[in-house]
Structure 1
Amino acid sequence: MTSSSSLPQPSDEYFEYRFIHRINPLAYDNFLQSQEKLRTQAKNYPGYISENFPILVEEGETLVFETILRFDTPEHCINWIDSKERRELLYGVENNGYQFKGEANFESYTRWIKQSVSNPSPVWKINLLVLLVLYPTVMLFNLLLKKPSSIDFPTWMLFGNFCSVAITGWFAVPWVSRLYQKWLEDKGTKKEQLLALISIFLALFILLQIFRHIPLSFW
C-alpha cells in the first residue's frame, strides 16, 4: 500500500481527522475505489493537505482500516466532511454494508492552542484545556440528541463527531485558550498560576457532578 502523494506540513500547521472503516473482505476492491474517489474530490476543497492510503489495522470476518485526513484548519476540514459531494459518494457504499466512524485527532486540538499563545506551553497544560472543552461537548451531545431510528449508527457517529469538531474547533478551544493564555504562557504570579489550575479542576469536578446527577433515563 502506498501513501498519498501530498506530504503533511509540519505538525503545528494542519488539522487531522481520523476515520475507522469496517468492510466485508469481498467488498475490498470497491472500498479502495470509493476511497480514491473521496480523495480525488477532497483535493478540490480549500485547505486540503493529504489523506493517507487505507491502513489495515484488524483482520477477520470484517476488515478494519484506518485513514487520516489532513486539512490546514478545522473549518476547511469540516467543510469537506459535510459537503454534498462527499455525502453522495458515501451514500452508495453505505448501502453495500460499509460502516465507518470519524473522530478528531486529540493532538489536533492541542496544535490550535499552541498557535494561540506566544510562548511555548507544557503539553500537560494544553491537554488539560482540551479535556476541559471536549468532556462537556461530548456529554451534552449525547444528552441532548438521540439517534433517530431512520439513521444508521456510523452516520450518527459521524454527525456527532462533526458537531464536536465544529463546537470545539470554532468556539470552545479558541475561547478557552484566550481565557487561560497567561496560565499557558506561565505569566503572572505563582498564586495566579495556582488559582488558574484550581479553577480548571474545579470546573471539571462540577461538570462531573452535574452529569452524574442526571437520571439514566436521559442518556
Structure 2
Amino acid sequence: MNATAVTVFHRPPDAESFEAWLDWMGETAFAAEGFVECCRAVSDDPALEPGFSVTFRSEALVNEFLDSAARSRVLAEGEALGIQRKSSDLVIVEGELPPPGVGVFHHSVADGKAADFVAAEAELVTLSATFPGFEGVALFCRGDTGRWFSVLRFRTAQHLSDWMRSEQRAAALPALRAELTEDFSVVAHTTPFGSTLRTVDGRTRVTPTWKIAMLVLLVLYPTVMTLSRFLGPVLDENGAPPWLAMWLSQIVSVALMSYILSPAVAACFRRWLDPVDGAGWRISALGAAIVVVLYALTLLLFATVKWLHYWDYNR
C-alpha cells in the first residue's frame, strides 16, 4: 500500500528561496528507495498552508525517508533559511484511516476550473477556520492530471466531526462541487475481510454485515474443502490425531483467508462492499446475484470432480 507523508510549514519569509528549497527536497525524495511522487501545496491564497507531500510504495519506506540523514540535512538548511515546520509530519497510508482530527479528501477537478476550485477551497477553509480546534488546510495538485487532494487538520477528532456535520459546511459545499468532475471522496479503511469504513459528512458508514457474511462463505467453503483434500491426508500420514489435525488445518485456513484469499476477493467486489458507492439496491442486488452464482459454481466443482472428494482419498 502506498503511503504519503505530508509536511506543512509556516509561511516562509522568502517565497523564491522556499521554492528552490522544495526543489531540493523533491530531488532528495526522488533518490530514496520506493519513491512514487511528490507534490507541493498550492498556497497563493493566505487561507491555504504551504506544504510538501511525498509518496512511497509502503509505510516503512516513507518512514525510512522521513528518518534519513539526507532529509535531515535538507531540513537543517531550510531552518537556516527561516523555513519552519508548522506541525509534525502526517503519514497517510492508503486504505487506512488518517490520524485523529485529520481529514483527507480527494478531488477530480474539471479542465480549466483549477483556479475556480482553489478559490472555492480557500473560501471553505476561511469558513472552517471559525470553528473550534481548527489548525489548517494544505491543498495539493497531482501534476496535470486533474487529481487533487486536501489535508484538513483539527485539534481532535471531535472538532473535525463537528465541522463535518455543520450546517455552514453543508451550505458551502455546492460551490466547491461545481468545479469537480465527480463528487470528492474521503479516505476509507478496508479490513482484510472486505469491511469498508468511510467517514462522509461526519457520519461513519460501514459495509453491511450480510455482504461480509456472503463473501466469507464464498471463500471459506472452497478453502476448507481444498485443505481437507490435500492437507488432511498429509497430517493423517504423519500421525496427527484428529483434534490436532483439525486445529492445524484451521490455522492454515485462517491465515490463507486473512492475508491472501479474502483480500483478493474483496478487491474484486470493492464497489459492492463500499458503504457509499455500493449502497444502492441495484448494485447490492447485482453483487449478491454474482456471489450466489459463484456459490453454485463452487458447489458444482466439488460435487462433480471426484479427484477433489476428500472423503474418498484413502480408498
- TM-score w.r.t. structure 2 length? 0.34
* More helix, by proportion: 1
- Greater length-normalized contact order (CA 8 Å, ≥ 6 residues apart): 1
* More strand, by proportion: 2
Q: Which has the larger radius of gyration?
A: 2
- TM-score w.r.t. structure 1 length? 0.47
